[in-house]
């Protein structure tokens, strides 16, 4: 997997964090860089950490499933991307999305929730024998930056871009899965 593909994957993975960061920005009412960086750190660290965990779990089993690992990678990315697309069309309660809290417990819950899909991607990265160090660095930095932008956009534009971000992220993950499958089959 090339650096460019990992960057595209990072963009896709960061879309959940972006969507939540937009909601945070909306609830904060005004942009403060300190708040945006705080959100970026939570999401960036967890988006980088979860693939590490998945990678080491996947590495333990990669020898057993080497002959069909590309199908597993395809299926995982298809499921994750499909779920993100489905979520983008789901009607959400307005009251669920406007919590201005940046308390540690609240942010940890959001960071874990937005990075669960990155755990499965980490398993995929193990099957593809990707350099996990550079992959998680790219994923973490991209998510950090995208999250800061999400807070800024949330304070400016509000909720109208949240569903579009989830849809975009889901499509990217599905296309990445198709790309991996086609690359391994050829």
CA 59, CA 76: separation in Å to the nearest integer? 16
Helix or strand (DSSP H, E) at 36: helix 33-61
Helical spans, DSSP H, in 96-185? 104-127, 132-157, 162-185
Q: What's the pLDDT score for residue 103? A: 84
CB-based burial label for 7 (10 Å; 0-12, 13-18, 19+): middle
| Average pLDDT value for the chain | 82
Structural domain that includes position 134? 3-185
pLDDT value for 163: 65
Statement: residue 186 has pLDDT above 90: no
pLDDT digits (tens, 9 = 90+) for 81-103: 787 788 778 765 543 445 577 88
Distance CA 185, CA 140 (A): 30
Whether pTM exceeds 0.75? no
Closest CA to 116 of 53, 178, 180: 53
State the total domains in the chain. 1
């Amino acid at each position: 997997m090339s650096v460019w593909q990992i960057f595209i994957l990072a963009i896709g993975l960061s879309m959940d964090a972006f969507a939540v960061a937009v909601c945070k920005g909306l609830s904060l009412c005004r942009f403060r860089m300190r708040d945006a960086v705080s959100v970026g750190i939570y999401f960036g660290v967890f988006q980088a950490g979860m693939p590490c965990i998945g990678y080491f779990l996947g590495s333990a089993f990669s020898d057993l499933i080497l002959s069909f690992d590309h199908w597993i990678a395809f299926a995982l990315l298809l499921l994750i991307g499909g779920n993100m697309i489905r979520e983008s069309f789901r009607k959400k309660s307005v009251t669920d999305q406007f919590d201005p809290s940046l308390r540690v417990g609240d942010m940890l819950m959001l960071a874990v929730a937005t990075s669960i899909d990155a755990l499965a991607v980490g398993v995929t990265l193990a099957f593809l024998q990707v350099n996990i160090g550079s992959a998680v660095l790219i994923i973490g930095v991209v998510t950090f930056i995208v999250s800061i932008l999400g807070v800024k956009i949330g304070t400016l534009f509000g909720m109208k871009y949240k569903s579009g971000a989830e849809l975009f992220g889901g499509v990217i993950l599905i296309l990445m899965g198709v790309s991996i499958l086609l690359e391994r089959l050829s």
